[in-house]
Structure 1
C-alpha cells in the first residue's frame, strides 16, 4: 500500500487522456484531514479534477457534476462504461434547484425522513445537468451524504459533485482508504483518507418521478423504512434480475457485473445443512483440481467449515448491519489471500438483507446454486 503523511503524499504519474498529474494523498497515516486539506481538495473539484473521499456508505470518486470533462475523467479513472449513470452529491437543500426540474411532495417527504443520509432520489433533471452524468436519461440521481467530511468538502467546492464508488469498475466498492489507494493511486488527482465507512454498502436509490417510490437499488434505507415514512413503495422488478441487452440502466449498479473480486464467486441457497454439505463437497473437489478455495459464511456456522478452505465470517447472520459493513472488505480480503473460488452462503432476502443479497448476486455474476434437503 502507498503510504503518505497528511498533506504531503504524492505518487506515480498517470496520463488520463486529459493531462498528466500525480495523486495527492491526504491523511493516509493519521486519517486526520485539516481545513487546509479540504480547501486544496475543494479547489481541485472546482477546477475539474477528480477527488476520492469518504462517505458513510463507501468511498466516492468525485468530480464537478456540471463539467463534462470532469465526468469523463471519472469514467476514465474507473474504467467505467459511460452509459452507467452517476449520483450527484450535494451539501445543502438549495443545491437541488440547479439540478432538478421539480421536487415533488413525495421527494420532500423522503428528504425530510432520510436526508442527510444513504438515500439517493431520482428526479427529472434540469437541462444544465450534462448527459454524461445521467447516462443519457432525462433524470438525475441526487443525494446528500451524512458524512461531515464529505458535506464539508462539497460545500467548500461550491459545486455539485458527481461521485460513483472510488474503485476500479466491477471491483468491490471500497470501505477503507487503503482500498482506494490500491485501485486509484496515480489515476486521480487527490485521495482524502478517513475512517472505515459506517454502512459499507452504496446508498439506496429511489425513483420519485411517479406516484409511489420505486427502489432501483436497495441499500441501508430499506423498503420497510420507506413505507413507514410515506406509506407506500415497491422494489423495481429489475432489482432481482440481470438487465437484457439494450435495456437502459435507470440507476448505478443495475446493468453491469459489480462488486466482484478477482476470484469466481458462487452462492448457495437453501436448507442450511444441505448448503453446508454442498459447499464442503465443492470445496474438496475444487481443492483436488488445484484451486485455492475461500468460504464466506457467518459466525454461527464458521467453525463447521474449518476444513473447507480459507474461511471468513461476515459476522452474525442475525446482525445484517454487521454483515453489510464487512461484505466488500471480505471480498477484497479473499483476493489478498490469492483465492481462486469463493463459495458463499446467503442471507435472508428481506430488510437490509435485500441490499446484501443484491450485491452478492451481482458479485457472483448471478451464479446461484439452489440446494434442497436430501
Structure 2
C-alpha cells in the first residue's frame, strides 16, 4: 500500500536509497528518481510502462545547477530562465557528459526545469542530486493533480507519495528547445506561447512527433481517460445523436440547459482560462470514474492557455 505523507525527510531518504517517490509540483505530480541511479531511472520507465525512446524531464533546485547538466546554453534560454524559473517552463538544452543517456533517451540534449512548488524545492534542497520526474501516471493516462490520483494509480507499486496538496497550474510545463540557437516549442503547457514570445520574440511550433520525440510529451495520444472521449465545437448538437448513452460533459463556463446527460463538469464559471486549466485533469479524473459510455469535451477558445487545453483534449481523444 502506498504511503501518502508530507514528510520531506522520509521522501529524501527513499530517494537516496535509489527508490522512487511521487512528488508534487505546480503542474502535475511527478514520479521522481535520482538521475544518476540506473536502478531508479529504469524503475520510472517500468512503473509507468513508458517507452525508453521518450526522454525524461530533470528537476533542479536552482539556476546555478543548470550548468552542471547543460552546456552551450543559448542567450534566449538564459532570458527565459530568468523570467520563468522557478516555474512551469522546461527547456531542452545540450547535455553535459555526466547526464546519463537513459534519462535523455540517448539524445545529446536534456530537458530541465525548476519547479515552482515549496515542497518540491524543499525536497530538492535536501538532496545532492537532481530528480527525473515525468508525470506520476501510467503512460498515456490522465496526469495526476493530487496525491490521491497517484496512490490510486500505483497503490501496489510505489512506496510513497509526498503530499503537497492540489497542483495549482493543473497541466504540464511548456517545453521549449533550441535548434541553431533559435527557439522551438515542443509542447504547449502552463505558460502560453504569447507569454514566451513577449520575452524572446517569435518561436516555431513543432509539438507532435511519434517516433524518437525531441522532447517529452510529444506523442499524439496522451493524457487520455479510459472512457471514450470526443472533442466537439458544438457539444449540444453532437450529443443529440446519442439519446440513450450515459454521457458526461467537460465544458468551459456554462452548463448546457435541458441536455439529457448524466453529468456536466464546468471548468470556470467566470470564463477564466487559467482557472479552467487548473481544473482540467481533476475534472477528467472525476468523469472517468462515473462508468460513462462517453465523455464529450467542448473545444476551447484557441488562444493563450486555451491552446494548451485544446492540445491536451486533442491528444485525449486521438484513437
TM range (shorter): over 0.9
Partner of 2:113: 143
Shift of 1:256: 5.1
Confirm or deny that 1:109 pairs with 2:79: yes
Q: Which runs of 5+ in 2 are unaligned?
A: none
1:106–1:208 Cα contact (<8 Å) kept: no
Q: Which runs of 5+ in 1 are unaligned?
A: 1-10, 12-22, 27-32, 270-274, 367-374
Cα distance in 2 between the residues matched to 1:87 and 1:349:
27
1:283–1:308 Cα contact (<8 Å) kept: no
Change (3 A) 1:64 1:341: same
2:249–2:264 Cα contact (<8 Å) kept: yes
Confirm or deny that 1:267 pairs with 2:246: no
Deviations 1:139-194 (A, max 9, x none): 10000011011011012121110000111211110111110110112212221112
Partner of 2:289: 336
Confirm or deny that 1:257 pairs with 2:216: no
After superposition, residues 1-374 of structure 1 pair within 5 angstroms as 11=1, 23-26=2-5, 33=6, 37-236=7-206, 239=207, 243-244=209-210, 247-255=211-219, 257-269=221-233, 275-284=234-243, 287=244, 291-300=245-254, 302-304=255-257, 306-316=259-269, 318-365=271-318
Q: Could you tell me the TM-score, scaled by structure 2's length?
A: 0.95
Shift of 1:82: 1.5
2:31–2:136 Cα contact (<8 Å) kept: yes
Deviations 1:311-343 (A, max 9, x none): 222224831111111111111111211112111
2:220–2:318 Cα contact (<8 Å) kept: no
Cα distance in 1 between the residues matched to 2:162 and 2:235:
42
Aligned residues: CA RMSD: 1.7
Shift of 1:131: 1.6
Give the number of aligned pairs: 319
Deviations 1:73-119 (A, max 9, x none): 11111121121111000001222222112222111100011011000
Shift of 1:305: 5.3
Q: Larger radius of gyration, structure 1 or 2?
A: 1
Q: Could you tell me the TM-score, scaled by structure 1's length?
A: 0.81
Shift of 1:130: 1.4
Cα distance in 1 between the residues matched to 2:125 and 2:78:
21
Cα distance in 2 between the residues matched to 1:177 and 1:183:
10
Cα distance in 1 between the residues matched to 2:194 and 2:182:
14
Classify the secondary structure of the residue corresponding to 2:240: helix
Cα distance in 2 between the residues matched to 1:220 and 1:278:
30
1:85–1:134 Cα contact (<8 Å) kept: yes
